[in-house]
């Protein structure tokens, strides 16, 4: 029998074994002692098992082994079984997750991964550079075109919408995609550098699938999705529908799950393992440096979960928030070249304009080894 192994972190108690046994039963078959003996042989194949239990100071860690038969081929099913109602049960964190290959192969994973993104952009082994559109709501199409081209002329590889860009009546999705396609082609003809634009794809899951098809017909070459508001299975459905353009995952709404060491889900799982399983090629999440900083150890764990060897292609980490030229040596030393430099204020806030702000970051990325040693 194959199992999904979930590790939980709780305050230490002498009754931790009983707590673990109650979870193993309650999250799989609901009850055991109250079941008639005639039902037990049939349900035993679905019954969770308690694995390793250990103490680490005031903290207890224990594993529950969930039979693979208890979940379906969706991330929502997985999370419901291993942490659904359990997330309401006080101080408990989903701290670790081990998935058997028979489960991961049900998911497409990133269609491009780090190697594919580099090949697509002819980027060599340097970090990729991405600029963030700001103040987009109400922006006209002409203003969008001007701002986009300024960023491209600065040498960035990727340009993405702001995740809160919803009021796009003056610069509709399909019109932006067509304009961006022309701008990227023009930049490539002038400089030889390829570039990609990632519009925000939002709405209900059904609307997003419909909008994605129309956007692809208009020439879209990628999407930005805040999938924690709609569910990671939106990405899974897009991939299973045959949509293979790169997708950037935005971490909006995930803070309440990852910002506590005693509750919620460890960032390694929620921002690393699961987005990669769902099919994100790039995952944005807090860096250790900015105003919404994630502890360095956790931020590096997320990056490792996105890049470590697996049957799934790797995904590019985008440690974000507060990224500017002065922090790049530290960023490069901590994360290496397989990252996306994701910047907004450092580009748009440059006193000489976005083109100059972008050029500084692009130049630093091209000199990765030199900058890392500063």
Tens digit of each residue's pLDDT (9 = 90 or more) over 205-222: 999 999 999 999 999 999
| Same fold flag, 3-104 and 113-372 | no
CA 194, CA 196: separation in Å to the nearest integer?
7
Buried b / exposed e along 263-284 (16+ C-beta atoms within 10 A): bbbbbbbbbbbbbbbbbbbbbb
Instruction: Give pLDDT, residue 272.
Output: 98
pTM of the entire structure?
0.94
Average pLDDT over residues 226-249: 95
Whether the pLDDT of residue 5 is over 80: the answer is yes
CATH architecture of 3-104: 2-Layer Sandwich (3.30)
Residue 350 is inside which H or E element, if any? Answer: none
Indicate which residue of 40, 85, 194, 214 is catalytic.
85
Instruction: Give pLDDT, residue 42.
Output: 60
Instruction: Give pLDDT, residue 169.
Output: 84
Q: Where are the domains of the chain?
A: 3-104, 113-372
Reply yes or no on whether 85 is catalytic: yes
pLDDT band of 13, cuts 50, 70, 90: very high
Whether the pLDDT of residue 41 is over 70: the answer is no
Whether the pLDDT of residue 366 is over 80: the answer is yes
CA 329, CA 348: separation in Å to the nearest integer?
21
Average pLDDT over residues 49-63: 96
In whole numbers, what is the pLDDT of the chain averaged over residues? Answer: 93
CATH architecture of 113-372: Alpha-Beta Barrel (3.20)
pLDDT band of 261, cuts 50, 70, 90: confident
Whether the pLDDT of residue 33 is over 90: the answer is no
Tell me if 277 sits within 8 A of 75, measured CB to CB.
yes
pLDDT band of 34, cuts 50, 70, 90: low
């Amino acid at each position: 029998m194959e199992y999904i192994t979930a590790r939980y972190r709780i305050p230490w108690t002498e009754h931790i074994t009983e707590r673990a046994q109650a979870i193993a039963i309650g999250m799989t078959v609901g009850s055991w002692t109250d079941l008639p003996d005639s039902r037990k042989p049939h349900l035993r194949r679905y019954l969770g098992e308690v694995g390793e239990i250990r103490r680490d100071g005031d903290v207890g860690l224990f594993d529950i082994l969930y039979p693979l038969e208890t979940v379906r081929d969706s991330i929502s099913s997985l999370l419901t079984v291993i942490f659904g109602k359990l997330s309401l049960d006080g101080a408990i964190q989903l701290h670790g997750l081990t998935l058997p290959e028979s489960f991961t192969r049900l998911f497409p994973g990133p269609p491009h991964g780090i190697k594919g993104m580099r090949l697509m952009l002819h980027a060599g082994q340097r970090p990729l550079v991405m600029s963030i559109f700001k103040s987009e709501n109400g922006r006209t199409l002409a203003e969008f075109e001007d701002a986009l081209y300024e960023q491209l002329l600065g040498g960035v590889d990727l340009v993405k919408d702001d995740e809160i860009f919803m009021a796009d009546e003056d610069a509709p999705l399909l019109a932006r995609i067509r304009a961006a396609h022309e701008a990227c082609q023009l930049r490539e003809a002038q400089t030889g550098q390829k570039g990609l634009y990632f519009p925000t794809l939002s709405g209900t899951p059904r609307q997003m699938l419909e909008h994605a098809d129309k956007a692809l017909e208009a020439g879209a070459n990628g999407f930005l999705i805040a999938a924690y508001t709609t569910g990671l299975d939106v990405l899974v459905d897009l991939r299973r529908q045959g949509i293979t353009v790169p997708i950037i995952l935005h971490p909006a709404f995930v803070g309440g799950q990852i910002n506590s060491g005693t509750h919620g889900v460890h960032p390694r799982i929620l921002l690393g393992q699961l987005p990669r399983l769902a099919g994100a090629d790039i995952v944005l999440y807090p860096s250790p440096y900015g105003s919404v900083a994630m502890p360095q150890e956790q931020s590096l764990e997320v990056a490792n979960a996105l890049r470590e060897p697996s049957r799934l292609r790797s995904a590019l980490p985008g440690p974000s928030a507060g990224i500017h030229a002065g922090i790049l040596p530290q960023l490069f030393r901590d994360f290496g070249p397989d990252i996306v430099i994701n910047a907004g204020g450092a580009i748009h806030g440059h006193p000489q304009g976005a083109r100059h702000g972008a050029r500084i970051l692009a130049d630093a990325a091209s000199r990765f080894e030199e900058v890392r040693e500063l």
